[in-house]
Amino acid sequence: MDEKRGTRAAAHAEELAARLGHRFHRPELLAQALTHSSWANERGAGSAHNERLEFLGDAVLELCVSTELFRRFPKLREGELTRLRAHLVSTVGLAQRARELGLDAHLRLGKGEEQQGGRTRDAILSDALEAVLAAVYEDGGFAAARDAVARIYAGHWPLAAGAPQARDAKSRLQEAVQHLFGKMPVYAQAAASGPEHAKHFQARLMLPDGREFAGQGTSMRKAERDAAARALEALFAQKLWPPDTR
């Protein structure tokens, strides 16, 4: 039974690493990042939990987000950049990114914390995501952490300096595609895998110009949003969207 559980855990860790876009040379770092102190305390594991990694991850995330905002908005002043960064790295925002990543399903929580709904708590999820980014940084350096942050925040970067975007990636992509091509993006389910209680979906998005983008998530809706976010990032990188950034 323990062997089967270990095999499942390893498979889940590989899935999560794939979503981060990083192959861990030291998978134990990811395991520690996903371990809450309640789990370690119940098993007498001492400090083998994610609090130290969370401390490092907070700084890694702030640097990665600051670097990206600095690049995207060369004309913004310090105070405006600080406001945008605060929105992106808020506890609520980080928890949402963690859920989109499927991080909640991979957490190791103590029985008491599990029963109290710890798997859904914003604070626990945001801390775990910071710890995961620290694990990526420790395993692969700043470039790996920067790439992971880019994947996590794909479609969530502010598209204009005025305010963070309120609409989801699918709505924003629809507006962009209609403006650029006069047509709608087309979505299709590519695959679904995993047990019923932990399904993982893959979606395929086709733009009118023939380009295709893949997305993944714990529901079909999330997979489609992930694909839309990647398409938006591509349009941004080509300076096709938004019009006011050209």
Backbone angles phi, psi at 166, to 5 degrees: -95, -25
- DSSP-derived letter for residue 108 is B
Residue 58's nearest CA partner among 102, 123, 109 is: 123
Respond yes or no: is residue 58 known to be catalytic: yes
Set 15, 54, 58, 226: catalytic member: 58
Domain boundary among 126, 152, 178: 152
Tell me which residue range forms the domain holding 237. Answer: 169-245
Residue 47 inside a domain? The answer is yes
Question: Are residues 123 and 188 located together in one domain of the fold?
Answer: no
- DSSP-derived letter for residue 205 is E
pLDDT band at residue 166, thresholds of 50, 70 and 90?
Answer: very low
Query: Model's pTM, two decimal places?
Result: 0.68
Q: Does 28 score more than 60 pLDDT? A: yes
Asked if residue 203 lies in contact with residue 187, where contact means CB atoms within 8 angstroms, the answer is: yes
Backbone angles phi, psi at 104, to 5 degrees: -60, -35
Question: Are residues 176 and 102 located together in one domain of the fold?
Answer: no
Cβ neighbours for 180, distance < 8 A, ≥ 6 positions apart: 235, 240, 241
Q: Does 98 score more than 60 pLDDT? A: yes
Residue 162 inside a domain? The answer is no
Structural tokens at position 208: 């009118």
The CATH number that applies at residue 18 is 1.10.1520.10
Q: What beta strand segments (E) does 166-209 contain?
A: 186-193, 200-206
Set 54, 130, 139, 224: catalytic member: 130
Domain boundary among 90, 122, 152: 152
Q: Does 4 score more than 60 pLDDT? A: no
Q: How many domains does the chain have?
A: 2
Per-residue pLDDT, 12: 64
